[in-house]
A and B are shown apart, each in its own frame.
Chain A
Amino acid sequence: MNTDKPLLIKRLWVVSFSLMLVLLAAMFLGLSLGSSQSGIKAVFQNLLGIGPHDPMLDTIIWKIRFPRVLLATLVGGTLSLGGLVFQALLKNPLAEPYILGISGGSAIGAIIGILIGLVRFPGVSLTAFSGSIGTLLLILVMSSGQTILKKDALLLSGVMVNAFCGAIIMFLVSLTQDARLHNIIFWLMGDLSMVDMPQVGILAAMLVPCFFLLFWFSNSMNLLLMGKEMAQTMGVNVKAVTVILLVATSFMVSATVSYCGLVGFVGLVVPHLLRLLFGPDHRVLVPACVFGGGAYLVFCDVLARTLPDQGEMPAGVITAMIGAPLFIYLLKRTRR
Chain B
Amino acid sequence: MAIDVKNLNYYYGDIPALKDLSFSVTKGDFFIIIGPNGSGKTTLMKLMAGILKPKKGRLKILNRAIGNYTRKDLAKTMAFVPQIMPVDFPFSVIEVVLMGRSPYMGMLGVEQEEDLKIAEQALTFTGVAHLAHRKLDQLSGGEQQRVFIARALCQEPDIILLDEPTASLDLAHQIRLMDLMEKLKKETGITVVMVSHDVNLAAMYCDRLLLLNKGEILCLGHPDEVLTFRTLEAAYGCTLLVDESPLGKIPRITPVPHKYLDHHQKG
Instruction: Give the CA-CA distance A112 to B103 in the complex, in Å.
Output: 46
Inter-subunit contact A233/B49 (CB<8 Å): yes
Note all chain B residues with C-beta closer than 8 A to A237. Answer: 71
Is B108 touching A283 in the complex (CB atoms < 8 A)? yes
In the complex, whether B79 has a CB less than 8 A from a CB of chain A is yes
Q: In the complex, which of the residues A92, A218, A225 has the most CB atoms of chain B within 10 Å of its own CB atom?
A: A225
Chain B residues with CB under 8 Å of A7's CB are 111
Q: Which of B52-100 contact A (CB under 8 A)?
A: 71-72, 74-76, 78-80, 82, 85, 88-92, 94-96, 99-100
Say if the beta carbon of A209 comes within 8 Å of chain B. no
The answer on a CB contact under 8 Å between B82 and A229 is yes
User: 8 Å CB contacts to B: which residues of A151-187?
Assistant: none
Chain B CB within 8 A of A51 CB: no
Given the complex, which residues of B lie within 8 Å of A92, measured CB to CB?
88
Set of chain A residues within 8 Å of B72, measured between Cβ atoms: 235
Q: Is B127 an interface residue (CB 8 A)?
A: no
CB of A223 within 8 A of chain B? yes
A17 to B237, CA, bound (A): 65
Is B108 touching A233 in the complex (CB atoms < 8 A)?
Answer: no
Q: Identify A234's interface contact among B92, B120, B155, CB under 8 A.
A: B155
B46 within 8 A of A: yes
CA distance A234 to B99 in the complex (A): 8
In the assembled complex, the CB of A76 is this many whole angstroms from the nearest CB of chain B, namely 22
If A93-B88, A235-B71, A235-B75 touch, does A222 touch B50 (CB 8 Å cutoff)? no
Cβ of A226: which chain B residues have Cβ within 8 Å of it? 96, 99
Contact A229/B46 with A219-B102, A234-B99, A234-B103 known, Cβ cut-off 8 Å: yes
Assembled-state Cα–Cα distance A215/B109 (Å): 12
Rounded to whole angstroms, the CA-CA distance of A88 and B207 in the bound complex is 40
Let me know if A122 is at the binding interface, CB within 8 A: no
Question: How many angstroms from the CA of A36 to the CA of B226 in the assembled complex?
Answer: 86
Complex: A275 Cα to B46 Cα, angstroms: 32
Report yes or no: A223 in contact with B89, Cβ–Cβ below 8 A: no
Contact of A235 with B103 at beta-carbon distance under 8 Å, contacts A6-B110, A8-B110 already known: yes
Q: Please report the C-alpha to C-alpha distance between residue A234 and residue B102 in the assembled complex, in whole angstroms.
A: 7
Query: Hey, what's the 0/1 contact readout for A198-228 against B, CB within 8 Å counting as 1?
Result: 0000000000000000011111101101110
Give the CA-CA distance A220 to B102 in the complex, in Å.
Answer: 9
Q: How far is the CA of A221 from the CA of B52 in the complex (A)?
A: 21
Chain B residues bordering chain A, tally (CB within 8 A): 39
B113 in the interface (beta carbon within 8 A): yes
Decide yes or no whether B133 CB sits under 8 A from chain A.
Answer: yes
- Tell me the minimal C-beta distance from A1 to chain B in angstroms: 5
Q: Which of A279-301 contact B (CB under 8 A)?
A: 279-281, 283
Interface core residue of A3, A218, A281, A334 (most chain B CB under 10 Å) = A3
Contact call A223/B102, Cβ cutoff below 8 A: yes
The reply to whether B100 and A91 contact each other, CB–CB distance below 8 Å, is: no
Decide if B89 touches A225 in the complex (CB within 8 Å).
Answer: yes
**B107 at interface by CB-CB < 8 Å:** yes
Asked if A232 lies at the interface with its beta carbon under 8 angstroms from chain B, I say yes
Least distance between B15 CB and chain A CB atoms (Å): 12
224-246 of chain A: CB within 8 A of chain B: 225-227, 229-230, 232-237
Report which of B78, B89, B108, B129 forms a contact with A219, defined as CB distance below 8 A: B108
A40 at the interface (CB under 8 A from B): no
B132 close to A (CB within 8 Å): yes
Residues of chain A contacted by B113 (CB below 8 angstroms): 5
A47 contacts chain B at the CB level, 8 A cutoff: no
The minimal Cβ–Cβ distance linking B10 to chain A, given in whole angstroms, is 16
- Which of A216, A219, A281 is the one whose CB lies under 8 Å from B91? A281
In the complex, are the beta carbons of A1 and B133 less than 8 A apart?
yes
Q: How far is the CA of A217 from the CA of B50 in the complex (A)?
A: 22
- In whole angstroms, how far apart are the Cα atoms of A217 and B107 in the complex? 7
State which of A93, A225, A233, A275 has its C-beta within 8 Å of the C-beta of B51: A233
Residues 126-162 of chain B, each 1 if its beta carbon lies under 8 Å from chain A, else 0: 0001001100000000000000000000010000000
Contacts A280-B91, A283-B108; A230 near B132 (Cβ below 8 A):
no
A3-B116, A5-B113 are contacts. A233–B107 as well, Cβ < 8 Å? no
Q: Is residue A9 contacting chain B, with contact meaning CB distance below 8 A?
A: yes
* Complex-state Cα separation, A314 to B71, whole angstroms: 48
Write the nearest CB–CB distance from A9 to chain B, whole angstroms.
7
Of the listed residues B72, B78, B88, B108, the one surrounded by the most CB atoms of chain A closer than 10 A to its CB is: B108
What's the Cα separation between A131 and B87 when bound, in Å? Answer: 33
Q: Which residues of A contact B82 (CB under 8 A)?
A: 227, 229-230
Complex CA gap A226/B100 in Å reads 11
Smallest CB–CB gap between A145 and chain B, Å? 13
Contact A225 B91 (CB under 8 A): yes
Assuming the contacts A219-B109, A280-B90, asked whether A1 and B102 have C-beta atoms less than 8 A apart, the reply is no
Residue of A nearest to B105 (CB): A219
Contact with B along A75-115 (1 / 0, CB 8 A): 00000000000000001110000000000000000000000
List of 9 A-B pairs having minimum Cβ-Cβ separation, nearest first: A235-B75, A233-B80, A219-B109, A280-B89, A235-B103, A235-B72, A235-B71, A225-B89, A219-B108
User: Can you identify 12 A-B contacts, CB atoms within 8 angstroms?
Assistant: A1-B129, A8-B108, A8-B110, A91-B88, A91-B89, A219-B107, A219-B108, A227-B82, A235-B72, A236-B102, A279-B95, A280-B91
Given contacts A229-B82, A235-B71, A237-B71, 10 further A-B contacts (CB under 8 A): A1-B133, A91-B88, A91-B89, A92-B88, A225-B88, A225-B89, A229-B51, A232-B71, A233-B79, A283-B109
